[in-house]
Amino acid sequence: GDVGRRSIVRPTEEGWLCGTGCLAARFGGRKTSVNPNYVAEYVGSAAAQSWLADNAVGGTMPNLNTGILASLPVWMPSKAEQDRIVSTLYDVRQVFIALEILVAKKQAIKQGMMQELLTGRTRLPGFTSPWNERSLGAVARIKTGSRNNQDKKAGGRYPFFVRSATVERIDYFSYDCEAILVPGEGGIGSIFHYINGKFEVQVFPASALGNEQQINQALPLATIDMIYTGVAFAGASYKP
């Protein structure tokens, strides 16, 4: 499973059981020369994680055994230096926790301000004219792409926006403009991209466009360019 997970067993966990899916590294009398917290930090390092991943057994799910874990190479400084490293990493971690709390508070302030300003509940000085509600399709042209995810190319010349937070690269572009991009499925409401320049967009899955009636209704709005439909549906919007 997740071979990178690890935890320190402290006196407060005395009497707890180690499950069959876990491996326990016990230090006993060696704690005079080994700080278990240092070992735990080292096991979580990139070097140790890479070694464990390379030496894990199993096809579909990587697994460790006592022999593999015992063979893990660990760089061991003196006990005094281990203690200092653990203390330093703890201090750094506390700084990051404090920063995360501060960022969360500022994010909450930002969200509150956005809610006030973008709904008109709070007006900026000098502006009193009324707001009017319009659909996004009335102020912007909603389009989709023409490329599949398989068309991406590492190191390509242009950004390739797919249905994820990751922006891929590609050697083609269909658009050269200013645009906001959101996924049509998955990650809806949580992924937003802004660009002003040349880019490509992944094709929107037909199943996500809606049923036949909804697709037909989208054609005169120019949110899609071409459809394959029956005479009855087409005749309702385009009279002879």
Average pLDDT on 160-172 reads: 90
pTM over 0.95: no
Q: Yes or no: say if 39 and 74 are a contact pair by the CB < 8 Å rule.
A: yes
Average pLDDT on 206-217 reads: 60
Integer-rounded Cα radius of gyration of the chain: 28
Q: What is the DSSP letter of 151?
A: G
Residue 181 has pLDDT above 60, yes or no: yes
Average pLDDT on 142-161 reads: 88
- The full DSSP string for 156-178 is -SEEEE-SSS-EEEES--SEEEE
Q: What is the DSSP letter of 71?
A: T
- At 190 the three-state DSSP class reads coil
Retrieve residue 49's tokens: 């994680």
Residue 68 has pLDDT above 60, yes or no: yes
